[in-house]
Amino acid sequence: MKNIVPILLAGVLFLLIAMGTVSAHSRPSDSSPEGATKAFFQAIHDQDWDQAYAMALPQNGLTKEQFIHDVHGSHGSLKSISALETADAKLLSDSGSEASVRANLQWSTAVGALREQRVLTLRNEDSHWRILWQAPKEETEAVRTVETPYLRWDIVQRSEQRDEFGSQNVEAPRMRIISMNAIEKEGNVIILGEVVNEDTVPGFVTVSATLLDKDKNPIVEESSFDKISHTLLPREVSPFRIDFPGRKLADVKSVRINPNTLLIPAYADPVVGVLDQRIEKDANGHSILRGSLMDESGKPISIPHVLATYYDNAGRVIWVSDGYVTRALLPGSPVPFSVDLRDDVAPNVKSYRVTVNYYSPDRT
């Protein structure tokens, strides 16, 4: 497991309880395209897969199991441990027999809200609108053996606490902050930078920062949370971003920053390749970083987390953004990703770097 395990585990229990206690609601009528779309996603919200599948028009031999996996994820992906929170529908076109609806969805996950947009095609059958749902592209391949000669670091110790995370009574790996930039955006102070593992062993790192006033008194302290690659192999560099909501840079005289580290076992696999990365505009004219992720190992990666670091002409970190990919990565099958980039930052970006965190529960 890598990086985001503690963050994910902190929220999974709450989500499982919420998913298991959703009560049924009276659903909108399916006599209009918008009503049918809302009723469809209400069934998904209620985990009523029989009803949701009954409201769909399966295409290309779509089975119920494939439908559930396509809607709610598979292989332990982030979507599979999430709960649909809200869904709205906007009619785009309606010919009387066929209609197009844009659905904006928000899922609750252990790492925060996940937003998704789908443009759906609906067909009118006997005054009842049903949703055309295409069978997902098969992501299977022939059985093969994959050699993975990647490095692995284990911790061997004689201690009753050996199974506890970070319980080793040893010196923590040496981590160093190699850059730091304090900015203010929309009434928030934001600390950006990079940290490097200077040791010969892997370490788990979280960067914390404290804003100080002119008298060196602490104002507030925050940590990087998931805006960082927590597990760093030897010589590996990670960006970090720390947000201080509702703070002004004019009130800050200095910043005290500290990387907190632990020695942990780690692996240099699976390898995730980043393909076709580019900055472009989305349909609404906003800047976005797009690309594809390729699992180049022999094991599925359940929850990929993309971190993007943006640099100006002087090589200074001017922004860090991130995003979770809802689908699991399967070996040899590229999966698209997109990460938002602030429109006011985009013109100043000279270069950027993409790194990928991941969580795979079956790793040994």
| CATH number assigned to the domain comprising residue 97 | 3.10.450.100
CA-closest candidate to residue 354, choices 287, 303, 296, 292:
292
Tell me how far CA of residue 116 lies from CA of 20, 23, 69, 87, 324, in angstroms.
22, 23, 16, 10, 11
pLDDT digits (tens, 9 = 90+) for 264-282: 877 776 678 899 999 999 8
User: pLDDT at position 12, please?
Assistant: 47
Give the residue numbers spanning the domain of 34: 5-133
Query: What is the pLDDT, as a whole number, of residue 58?
Result: 86
Q: Are residues 128 and 169 in the same domain?
A: no
Question: Structure tokens of 273?
Answer: 């390749």
Quote the pTM value.
0.73
Backbone angles phi, psi at 23, to 5 degrees: -90, 155
pLDDT of residue 195: 96
**Is residue 77 in a domain?**
yes
Neighbours of 136 (CB within 10 A): 15
Identify whether the C-beta of residue 257 lies closer than 8 Å to the C-beta of residue 191.
yes
Is there a domain that residue 138 lies in? no
Mean pLDDT of residues grouped by 10 in the chain (364 residues)? 50 45 58 92 92 89 87 83 89 93 88 84 91 71 55 64 55 92 94 95 93 95 93 93 95 94 78 91 90 85 92 95 89 89 95 87 50
What is the per-residue pLDDT for 146?
A: 54
CATH of the domain at 199: 2.60.40.3230
Number of domains in the chain: 3
pLDDT at 247: 95
The predicted structure's pLDDT at residue 299:
78
Any domain includes 168? yes
Residues 69 and 187 both lie in one domain = no
Does residue 123 share a domain with residue 20? Answer: yes
